Amino acid sequence: MKKNLSVASMISLIIAAVLIVISIFIPWWGMKFFAPQYPEGLDIIVYPTTLDGDIEVVNGLNHYIGMKEFSNQSFPELAYMPYIVISFAVLTLLVAFLRKKSFLFGLIILYVIGGIVGLLDMYRWLKKFGTELDPKAPIDLDPFVPPIIGENTIANFVTNSYFTYGGYLLGIVFILMIFPLWKDRKK
């Protein structure tokens, strides 16, 4: 019974590791806000290391509904996320060069757990910001939880939440990680 991964599988994992590193530099998730006064939309763009977009404008608007301001300091994960991402890239390279199928299974399990934890963390923050509204805010609004993916309407704002290039890149990484399981399956 063959336990080693093929050269093609090793190459697939090396490409996955490179893509993991590249993902640090591109956004993973975003939210776009549309309203009559902002027909072009306002953006919140989330990289694994920082927030970008129309943060100050959105914070100014969120003040009216009693939502806490958010910034890079609001999300401590952004400080250590690059280390987690690089660790996954190093582990992926290690599995690629060791070429052991058992290590690959472990890597895939860790990757899936990391993805689930990341999504749960995103949900936690969305819930916290949407439900812990200041009752003394100028506009009284029922608590809400913006979706991780999809559309939501709050007052006259329609928000669209979506994964961006980095999120899709992480999906491709997963495919490159499971490719060796297909490639090196028993005949």
pLDDT digits (tens, 9 = 90+) for 75-128: 999 999 999 999 999 999 999 999 999 999 999 999 999 999 999 999 999 999
Percent of residues, the chain, with pLDDT higher than 70? 98
Using alpha carbons, select from 88, 82, 73, 78 the residue that is nearest to residue 24.
82
Give residue 1's pLDDT. 44
| Euclidean distance between CA atoms 20 and 181, whole angstroms | 19
Question: Does position 154 have pLDDT exceeding 90, yes or no?
Answer: no
DSSP sequence for the chain: ---BPPHHHHHHHHHHHHHHHHHTTS--EEEEEEETTEEEEEEEEE-SS-EEESHHHHHHHHHHHTPPP--GGG-THHHHHHHHHHHHHHHHHHHHHH-BHHHHHHHHHHHHHHHHHHHHHHHHHHHHHHH---TTSSS--------SSEEEEETTEEEEEEE-HHHHHHHHHHHHHHHHHHHT---
Q: Which domains, from first to last, does the chain contain?
A: 7-181 (1.20.140)
* pTM (two decimals): 0.89
Is the confidence at residue 136, as pLDDT, over 50?
yes
| pLDDT band with cut points at 50, 70 and 90 for residue 2 | low
Residue 167: the pLDDT is 96
Please determine, for residue 185, whether its predicted confidence score (pLDDT) is greater than 90.
Answer: no
Confidence of residue 23 (pLDDT cuts 50, 70, 90): very high
Average pLDDT along the chain = 93
Amino acid sitting at position 33 = F
% of residues, the chain, pLDDT over 90: 84
